[in-house]
A and B are shown apart, each in its own frame.
Chain A
């Protein structure tokens, strides 16, 4: 069962990778006519910058190559999700417990949540498909990192983790991290699009050409964060301390993992504040959200690998 889980994981990464390539294909040679037009526009405007014209010409009804590429990417995304789910489930069965007892399993589960949320967003708003490139990129990178630096063979939980608060604490943090992960994608796209609209034409901003609805992206960013924030609050600042009290005798002890959870929480609170303050620009607020995600990554990788703490599941195998 454990081997099956590892094999499924390998195929999961491959599926996400293939999906990523197809999403990229949709970007690159996608709707030919439009890219061509954009290119010629840039040629014309080489001397005198021309403000970007974002009027989207009606596409021919027949799906183009890029369109097909995008559709295949979606199929591959769902395939990857199914394999991902299978890998996590078989791992849980092999270990006879929930599959979130160490850093490897933690990443596998958090990205699984991210993938599920992304699938949900795709089903409800097919128009945001172009974000898939970034979603699959982050899934591949995180899962790759999990396999390369954090892989741990299946094993039972150490007694310190054997508590139902552990299940509550870790599961809510995993779910909220997965949503924060997906929330970082429209945040990034919003910033790219915004930069593009301001006339920036260097590399990441060129991706903004395909993106239409900046305000919609920004709103999606906010909604994902507003959903994940209370969940994270519960997992990290209520369930975590409850468990820590029962296990270590103190509800809060400034252990490095606690420190970084606190930092993430404060930064995300700052994001919600910034977004609610009319005098703060939405781009600034969105940068804060991304900063929040960086602190989450820091907690996941940096703290587990560099600092010593009480969180024994943090050992990177």
Chain B
């Protein structure tokens, strides 16, 4: 508040000259943009603009939800998509608002910084003529010391209370003491606003130079992966990152432990991995939710878990293939859905040709704890009574078409067009670990067991730490700004009319911000000065 009122409005007004209308327009717009009212308006706009992002699903938050929304609202979704309804926080209009706000912030803060430096380097101004007009006033009393010594004593007292003080001698032999305190308010306020700027810049750099990727990792030494783009299920590199910039490490999940409450709520997770960085030897490390694996140049976060059934298929010619296929959990009890696809089976050893009509796929549900009622829902997330319900399909799996299909579901169009047909009965076949299912053509499927898998997020954000520092500094500035009050007090020490050896003091005080405790402080100060003078 002070700052705004303080600015000498007239002193800086340019000398009147014929204004270039364009220049005048520009200058006026800039003045408008950097005014507090515009800042207020832009803050409101920013708050308002953030709302749609919580109403519509966001691509950056959850891609599947956006797809679902498109399926549910086939008309509306593409229409609002043109207005970036699903990418609100990277939309041009959101950017326009915050960029304007931050431009306004720069335009507002830079002049204030200059002002503040000036205020810090100039001395407190002289006492006003009429102290009784000030919000706080202390009527004259007589001190038994000459003015110079009294003023010196007052100044010392005020300096002891960390006031910046200045003594001035008056022509009539009197003295004034000007004192000011609370510069940290503006310092803190500027620090806060500059910290906001640094956070915006930091977020921008983090976006440019950061990257992240996801990977589902099954336990077992042969399931590991190394940190390259092709090994990720999906990834997103910042505009300034190329795939060769990724740090070199390899991960194998050696063990995944999960414990649960009796209600099935998870109690704890622990992933143990063998890591090799920069081609070095394997190191055993473990990490968990809330406690990521911090590597050089990347952090690995544990996001989820699940089961991957191990299935051994023996085709009609007796050739065996084993696959470990992760099933995706669909609920908290880890009811999981997935498929196992065997495109390269039933190859006649005589012709050695693959027959597109004889590929085999299995689709179904895995329950770590199957219920006794035969329902397709797991009743507990640990493997107390594991059951696998499968349906078998034979025909063309449609994997060769070149369109990357889901690895968690069979291609529906192949089934609808009859190129892939169900060869098991109406009800899914029930398999328990170790059991084998013989299909109509004599081929066999054995449910060997399961492996655990973990879903991992691998991320790198180079500015994260800087942002933390920036925001902590900003918070410190904010607290200073809100807690400190800037105020001035003046003492006028005049020679007593009848006695040159003593003096009369009068005091006034001006709080320069809304500060309800100032009256008390002023009283304490004047009382202190009076008492000090007596001793």
A binds B: yes
State the A residues within 8 Å of B (CB): 155-156, 158-160, 162-163, 165, 219, 222-223, 226-227, 229-230, 233-234, 237-238, 242-243, 245-256, 259-260, 262-263, 266-267, 269-270, 272-274, 276-280, 295, 303, 307-308
Name the residue of chain B whose CB is nearest to the CB of A218: B514
B478 near A246 (CB under 8 angstroms)? no
Contact between B478 and A230, CB atoms less than 8 A apart: yes
Q: Are A273 and B43 CB-contacts (below 8 A) given A156-B261, A238-B471, A259-B54?
A: yes
Chain A residues whose CB sits within 8 angstroms of the CB of B50 once the complex forms: 259, 262-263, 266
How close is B258's CB to chain A, nearest CB, in angstroms? 9
Does B516 lie at the interface of the complex (its beta carbon under 8 Å from any beta carbon of A)? yes
Q: Which of B32-40, B159-167, B351-359, B395-403 contacts A (4 or more CB under 8 A)?
A: B32-40
Is chain A's interface secondary structure helix, strand, loop, or mixed overall? Answer: helix
Given contacts A242-B468, A269-B43, 15 further A-B contacts (CB under 8 A): A155-B265, A158-B265, A238-B468, A238-B471, A248-B301, A250-B461, A251-B464, A262-B47, A266-B44, A273-B36, A276-B1, A276-B4, A277-B40, A280-B37, A307-B54
Q: A229-B478, A230-B478 are in contact. Are A303 and B40 (CB under 8 A)?
A: no
Contact A254 B43 (CB under 8 A): no
In whole angstroms, what is the CA distance A308 to B291 when docked? Answer: 24
CB-based contact B1/A274 at 8 Å = no
Task: Tell me whether B46 is interfacial, beta carbon within 8 Å.
Answer: yes
- Whether, in the assembled complex, B58 has its beta carbon less than 8 Å from a beta carbon of chain A, the answer is yes
CB nearest neighbor in B for A251:
B464
Please choose the segment from B13-21, B238-246, B266-274, B316-324 that sits at the chain A interface, where 4 or more of its residues have CB less than 8 A away: B266-274
Contact between chains at A249 and B299 (CB < 8 Å):
yes
Residue of chain A at shortest CB distance from B474: A233
Say whether A278 contacts B290, CB under 8 Å: no
Tell me how far the C-beta of B170 lies from the nearest C-beta in chain A, rounded to whole angstroms. Answer: 34
Q: From the candidates A158, A159, A230, name the one contacting B479 in the complex (CB within 8 A).
A: A230
The residues of B that contact A219 with a CB separation of less than 8 Å are: 514, 516
Question: A223–B482 Cα gap in the complex (Å)?
Answer: 9
Q: How many A-B residue pairs have CB under 8 A?
A: 129
**B467 at interface (Cβ–Cβ under 8 A)?**
yes
Encode contact with A along B440-463: 1 for CB under 8 Å, 0 otherwise: 000000000000000001010100
The reply to whether A278 and B5 contact each other, CB–CB distance below 8 Å, is yes
Known contacts A159-B288, A230-B475, A277-B36, A254 near B60 by CB under 8 Å? yes
Q: Which of the residues B46, B267, B461 comes within 8 Å of A266, measured between beta carbons?
A: B46
Q: With A219-B514, A279-B37 in contact, is A250–B459 under 8 Å at CB?
A: yes
B65 contacts chain A at the CB level, 8 A cutoff: yes
Q: How far is the CA of A129 from the CA of B54 in the complex (A)?
A: 39
- Shortest B337–chain A CB gap in Å is 20
Q: Is B51 an interface residue (CB 8 A)?
A: yes
Tally of chain B residues near chain A (CB < 8 A): 53
Q: Is A222 a contact of B514 with CB atoms below 8 Å?
A: yes
Tell whether B89 is near chain A: CB-to-CB under 8 Å. yes
| Contact between B54 and A247, CB atoms less than 8 A apart | no
> In the complex, what distance in Å separates the CA atom of A295 from the CA atom of B291?
32
Q: Which 9 A-B pairs have the closest CB atoms?
A: A249-B301, A163-B290, A256-B54, A259-B54, A266-B47, A270-B43, A277-B36, A249-B457, A276-B1
Do B268 and A249 touch (CB < 8 A)? no
Q: In the assembled complex, which residues on chain B have CB atoms less than 8 Å from the CB atom of A238?
A: 468, 471-472, 475
Are the C-beta atoms of A159 and B47 separated by less than 8 Å? no
Candidates A159, A251, A266; contact of B290 at CB < 8 Å: A159
B residues 461-513 in Cβ contact with A at 8 Å: 461, 464, 467-468, 471-472, 475, 478-479, 482
- Which residues of chain A have C-beta atoms less than 8 A from B267's C-beta? 156, 159
B201 proximal to A (CB < 8 A):
no
Within 8 A of A (CB), among B243-294: 261, 263, 265-269, 288-292
Do A270 and B61 touch across chains, with their CB atoms under 8 A apart? no
On chain B, the residues within 8 Å of A270 by CB distance are 40, 43-44, 47
Contact between A226 and B482 (Cβ–Cβ < 8 Å)?
yes
B303 within 8 A of A: yes
Q: Shortest beta-carbon distance, A308 to chain B, in Å?
A: 7
1/0 contact string of B195-219 vs chain A (CB within 8 Å): 0000000010000000010000000
**Minimum Cβ distance to chain A for residue B42 (Å):** 9
B288 touches A277 (CB 8 A): no
Q: B: which residues have CB within 8 A of A?
A: 1, 4-5, 36-37, 39-40, 43-44, 46-47, 50-51, 53-55, 58, 60-61, 65, 88-89, 203, 212, 261, 263, 265-269, 288-292, 299, 301, 303, 457, 459, 461, 464, 467-468, 471-472, 475, 478-479, 482, 514, 516
Q: Find out whether the CB atom of A260 lies under 8 angstroms from the CB atom of B5.
A: no
- The residues of B that contact A158 with a CB separation of less than 8 Å are 265-266
Asked whether, in the complex, the Cβ of B54 is within 8 Å of the Cβ of A253, the reply is no
Do A246 and B292 touch (CB < 8 A)? yes
Tell me whether A254 and B89 are in contact in the complex, defined as CB-CB below 8 angstroms, given that A158-B265, A263-B47, A269-B43 are known contacts: yes
CA distance A165 to B292 in the complex (A): 14
A307 proximity list for chain B (CB < 8 A): 54-55
Of the candidates B36, B54, B479, B514, the one having the most CB atoms from chain A within 10 angstroms of its own CB is B54
Q: How far is the CB of B238 from chain A (nearest CB, A)?
A: 13
A182 to chain B, nearest CB (A): 17
Our pick among B47, B303, B464 for the contact of A245 (Cβ within 8 Å) is: B464
Please give, as numbers and ranges, the residues of chain A lying within 8 Å of B265 by CB-CB distance: 155-156, 158
Q: In the complex the two chains form, what is the Cα distance from A7 to B478 in whole Å?
A: 42
Chain A residues whose CB sits within 8 angstroms of the CB of B299 once the complex forms: 249
Bound complex: CA A246 to CA B457 (Å): 11
- How many Å from the CB of A114 to the closest CB on chain B? 21
CB neighbours (8 Å) of B261 from chain A are 155-156
Q: Which residues of B contact A245 (CB under 8 A)?
A: 464
B4 to A277, Cβ gap below 8 A?
yes
Closest CB in chain A relative to B227 CB, distance in Å: 15
Q: How far is the CA of A155 from the CA of B65 in the complex (A)?
A: 29
The distance in angstroms between the C-alpha atoms of A255 and B62, with both chains bound, is 9
Instruction: State how many angstroms separate the Cβ of A310 from the closest Cβ of chain B.
Output: 8
- Residues of A near B47 (CB, < 8 A) are 262-263, 266-267, 270, 295
Inter-chain contact A233/B478, CB cutoff 8 Å = yes
Question: What is the CB-to-nearest-CB distance from A257 to chain B, in angstroms, rounded to a whole number?
Answer: 8
**Given the complex of chains A and B, what is the CA–CA distance between A24 and B268 in angstroms?**
50
- In the assembled complex, the Cα of A162 lies from the Cα of B290 at a distance in Å of 8
B88 — nearest CB in chain A belongs to which residue?
Answer: A254
Is A277 touching B212 in the complex (CB atoms < 8 A)? no
Smallest beta-carbon distance B467→chain A, Å: 7
A249 touches B459 (CB 8 A): yes
CB distance from B356 to the nearest CB of A (A): 41
Q: How many angstroms from the CA of A276 to the CA of B269 in the assembled complex? A: 50
Chain A residues within an 8 Å CB radius of B472: 238
